[in-house]
Amino acid sequence: MAKLVKSFEAPDPVYGLAVLDKKLYVLRKRHSDQIYVYDTKDYKLQTTITVDGLTPNCYNDLAESTAEKCLFVSDYAAKCIRKVDPSGATSKFVDVPYEPKGTCIKER
């Protein structure tokens, strides 16, 4: 059974959440070209990562890959998936023939 561990106010709608290496990554509507990075111990904001070229106010989403140790962000307007390193390096990972409205990583 799921249990609520912590809640905190988000001033804007949340487009995506991911947890990687004890960090909580949040993609919010306010600046959807930025990923907000929180520590999972105290949930205080640590930093932001700017994803250059990510269109704000679209159906963007993010997911983590523990195997790749990175995040993947779906970019609705650009019809692509972007790869984001926790250090802040971003790149276009793959173009897709449609507008992605979500991201999910299945690892083996």
CATH number of the structural domain spanning residue 31? 2.40.10.480
* pTM for the predicted model, two decimal places: 0.88
Torsion of CA 95, 99, 101, 106, to 10 degrees: -30
Q: Determine, yes or no, domain membership for 21.
A: yes
pLDDT reading at 84 higher than 90? yes
Residues pairing with 20 in the sheet? 23
Q: Is the pLDDT of residue 26 over 70?
A: yes
* Whole-number percent of the chain with pLDDT over 90: 50
What domain range is 26 assigned to?
14-95
Question: What's the structural domain count of the chain?
Answer: 1
Average pLDDT over residues 76-102: 91
106 within a domain of the structure (yes/no): no
Q: Does residue 31 register a pLDDT over 70?
A: no
With bands split at pLDDT 50, 70 and 90, how would you rate the model's confidence at 47?
Answer: very high
Task: Determine, yes or no, domain membership for 89.
Answer: yes
Structural domain includes residue 103: no
**Those residues with Cβ within 8 angstroms of residue 3's Cβ, 6 or more apart along the chain or in another chain:** none
How high does pLDDT run on average in the chain?
87
Is 38's pLDDT higher than 90? yes
Is 105 among the domain residues? no
Q: What is the pLDDT of residue 32?
A: 65
- 36 belongs to a structural domain: yes
- Span 1-26, mean pLDDT? 85
Domain membership flag for residue 68: yes
CA–CA distance, 62 with 58 (Å, rounded to integer): 13
88 assigned to some structural domain:
yes
Res. 46 pLDDT band, cuts 50 70 90? very high
